[in-house]
């Protein structure tokens, strides 16, 4: 594990995904992670820049990469999947292309050699070690069935991300298992949720999210684990819209993997921002950490209810 990790929050973690940042900063010291926020960082351009101006879409993330190099960091972590994708895609796009690199360097007025590895939060946690994470926990998820939802940006395209299996990733599942949860085997863990269309094309997002919810629920999931602000937003914010549009009754909380870790470290829902979600997670959290005797008493009723459904 690098002793000096540059932390790039991006716009989301300082805005709509403040709960993600809150949970990450809460668990970092307990796990021995030393994250140094990158000074003078700028927006990486996700998701609009690469649709409007190609040079701009490279220059914005290139400046972030250059700042990490100037700070002599050993790695750069971008918890937001969109930010991670733009940073690593730009690093890949400039690799071996001297003329393009020179042009981008002239735009940002900084050298950018692409020497600092870009990592997502799952990579950082796995490098830390699931054994170490498990050892730091003061309580376990007692077999709670959790569907790890990776979305389409963390593992694709594989020649760029070079992380996990692009069709059947397991990294987040490993972390959930270390926390005592039961990773759900399901087929839509890398399907798109609609991304940035949440506001402009709610109909499309609702259709995609319903398919994701349907598949996860069918396989027995009680909640989601995510590592992407946009994925979390669409599964959480739009779940009510899905229920209204299709007459469904989904109640599947979508928590960041950092929030699940924080809960197992003994931190409260408020400390981790879990209480800020649209889909109430309190009942699921309570069930996960219920004393064995209480869980046993509740089991018959839960089974009966599931049978009626």
pLDDT tens sequence across 142-155: 989 999 999 999 99
- Mean pLDDT confidence for 232-251: 96
Strand partners of residue 37: 7
Q: What is the pLDDT of residue 251?
A: 97
List, for residues 93-147, the tens digit of each pLDDT value: 999 999 999 999 999 999 999 999 999 999 999 999 999 999 999 999 998 999 9
- Residue 299: pLDDT over 70: no
Token pair for 76: 């750069």
Q: What is the pLDDT of residue 3?
A: 64
List, for residues 192-224, the tens digit of each pLDDT value: 999 878 777 899 999 999 999 999 999 999 999
Report the percent of the chain where pLDDT is more than 90. 86
* Structural domain spans, the chain: 5-119, 129-308
DSSP 8-class letter at 191: S
Average predicted confidence (pLDDT) for the chain: 92
Question: Hey, what CATH class is 5-119 in?
Answer: mainly alpha
Q: What is the pLDDT of residue 4?
A: 85
Structural fold of domain 129-308: Rossmann fold (3.40.50)
Token pair for 152: 């389409």
Closest of 1, 165, 6 to residue 71, by C-alpha = 6
Token pair for 161: 């991300």
Predicted TM-score (pTM) of this structure: 0.92
The helix (H) or strand (E) run that includes residue 6 is strand 5-7
C-beta atoms surrounding 200 within 10 Å: 9
Tell how far CA 307 is from the center of its chain. 33
CB 35 within 8 Å of CB 28: yes
- Residue 51: pLDDT over 80: no
Q: What is the pLDDT of residue 198?
A: 74
């Amino acid at each position: 594990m690098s002793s000096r990790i540059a932390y790039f929050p991006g716009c989301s973690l300082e805005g709509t995904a403040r709960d993600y940042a809150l949970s990450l900063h809460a668990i970092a010291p307990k796990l021995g992670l030393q994250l140094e926020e990158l000074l003078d960082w700028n927006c990486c351009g996700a998701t609009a820049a690469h649709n409007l101006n190609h040079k701009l879409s490279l220059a914005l993330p290139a400046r972030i990469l250059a700042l990490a190099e100037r700070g002599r960091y050993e790695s750069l972590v971008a918890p937001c999947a969109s930010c991670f994708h733009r940073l690593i895609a730009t690093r890949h796009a400039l690799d071996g292309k001297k003329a393009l690199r020179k042009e981008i360097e002239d735009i940002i007025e900084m050298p950018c050699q692409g020497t600092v590895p870009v990592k997502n939060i799952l990579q950082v946690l796995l490098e830390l070690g699931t054994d170490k994470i498990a050892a730091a926990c003061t309580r376990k998820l007692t077999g709670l069935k959790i569907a790890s939802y990776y979305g389409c940006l963390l593992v694709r395209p594989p020649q760029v991300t070079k992380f996990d299996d692009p069709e059947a990733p397991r990294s987040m599942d490993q972390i959930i298992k270390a926390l005592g949860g039961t990773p759900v085997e399901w087929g839509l863990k890398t399907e798109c949720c609609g991304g940035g269309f949440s506001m402009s094309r709610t109909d499309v997002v609702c259709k995609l999210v319903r398919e994701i919810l349907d598949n996860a629920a069918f396989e027995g999931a009680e909640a989601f684990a995510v590592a992407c602000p946009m994925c979390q937003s669409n599964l959480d914010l739009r779940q009510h819209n899905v229920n209204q549009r299709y007459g469904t009754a989904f109640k599947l909380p979508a928590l960041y993997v950092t929030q699940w870790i924080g809960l197992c470290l003994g931190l409260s829902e408020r400390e981790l921002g879990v209480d800020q979600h649209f889909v109430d997670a309190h009942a699921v959290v309570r069930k996960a950490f219920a004393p064995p005797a209480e869980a046993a008493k509740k089991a018959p009723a839960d089974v009966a209810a599931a049978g009626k459904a």
